[in-house]
Amino acid sequence: MKAFKYIGKENYELTTEEIPKIKTENDVIVKITIASICTSDIHIIKGKVPRAKEGIILGHEGVGIVTEIGKNIKKLKINDHVTINCITFCGECYYCKKGYINNCEKGGWEIGCRINGTLSEYVRIPYGDYSLNKIPNNIKDIDALLVGDVLSSGYFGCDLCNVKENDIVAIIGAGPVGICSMLCCKMRNAKIISIDIKDECLEFAKKNNYADYYFNPNKCDIVKCVLDVSNGRGADCVIEDAGGENTFEMAWKIARANAIVALVGMYEKDQIFPLPQMYGKNLVFKTGGVDAVHCDELLNMIQENKISTNQLITHTMPLSKCKDAFELFRNKNEFCIKIAITVD
């Protein structure tokens, strides 16, 4: 089969690999129909994810058809259409039973990081009864593509902040996860401030009416702008989806006293936590990785037309052009939010 492999830092190629086989009784083999590239994949190829293994097939977002199941699989059958959770989890350990699947004692972020991923014709999914979600018949593959990671990550930020109706929510980053956070907060009737250093991302968000206010912090005093639209207090909630050079500092500075700050973005460097400056603000910080435990709920929302991520797919390319797709997604030589990778 064709697969897109991480060979080592700044070294990645389309290769030919063996079709995966069942290894344990909890495994499921999925024939990929459509996958996508995530910013986390870029972190890996830049050598910024120490736990990532060289020689693995990249990708942790995908949709496909079940072709083989292990003996312990109870919830799925051959030919089921499924969306793939970016997190593999056993469903039985201490953390899984608490709903903290990202911290599963037997799983976690494995696919496309420590075991072979979804940018291939087939993928083996451990703990398939939990790590895969069956797609309702009236949902197309493209509709469900982002459920297992990007949409779950956006929802996770909204959930961490306990966003309520009329809350003023500042979302840092208008990329895929940031937009998904906006979509989820919008469902809760919050007022949304979109913040990004790229005007084209803000224009895309504005064009699609994802937020109520749009600010580029390189072109304004971002603290003042947030204060001006929040009755002089600051944001009730801040969702930091960018993981940029100074976005952590921005997040706590634009938050009002007693706000919740959710840190969902993946940082490449250590961040400074200036407690003396924060002291009087009484802030609550919550951090990700994503606990993508709400995939069935999100699929129901898509089925009921409450949410759609299709507008985020700005490009579609075949698996044979995956290297070109990575270069486009990484370098943004043209405007790009998400790239769908099709597998024939």
Amino acid symbol at 323: K
Task: Locate 224 and state its tokens.
Answer: 């003042």
Interaxial angle between packed helices 152-160 and 295-303, expressed in degrees from 0 to 180 and rounded to the nearest 10 = 110
Strand order in the sheet with 11-16: 11-16, 2-8, 56-57
Q: Identify the pLDDT of residue 251.
A: 98
Cα–Cα distance measured from residue 258 to residue 275, given in angstroms and rounded to the nearest whole number: 14
Q: pLDDT value at position 292?
A: 84
What domains are defined for the chain?
2-146+309-342 (3.90.180.10), 154-287 (3.40.50.720)
What confidence score (pLDDT) does residue 290 get? 82
User: How many Å apart are CA 180 and CA 146, to the nearest integer?
Assistant: 9
- The per-residue pLDDT for 126 is 97
Nearest to 112 by CA among 175, 55, 178: 55
d(C-alpha 149, C-alpha 312), whole Å: 13
- Asked if 29 contacts 111 with a C-beta cutoff of 8 angstroms, the reply is no
Residue 312 to residues 49, 308, 339, Cα–Cα distance (Å): 25, 9, 8
Exposure string over 206-244, b if 16+ CB within 10 A, otherwise e:
eeeebbebbbbbeeeebeebbbeebeeebbbbbbbbbbb
Q: What is the pLDDT of residue 266?
A: 85
Query: What integer pLDDT is reported at residue 121 of this predicted model?
Result: 98
Residue-level pLDDT, tens digit, the chain, 344 residues:
999 999 999 999 999 999 999 999 999 999 999 999 998 999 999 998 999 999 999 999 999 999 999 999 999 999 999 999 999 999 999 999 998 998 999 999 999 999 999 999 999 999 999 999 999 989 999 999 999 999 999 999 999 999 999 999 999 999 999 999 999 999 999 999 999 999 999 999 999 999 999 999 999 999 999 999 999 999 999 999 999 989 999 999 999 999 999 999 988 889 999 999 999 999 999 998 787 889 999 999 999 999 999 999 999 999 999 999 999 999 988 999 999 999 97
Please tell me the predicted confidence (pLDDT) of residue 54: 96
Question: Residue 288: what pLDDT?
Answer: 80
Residue-level pLDDT at 291: 77
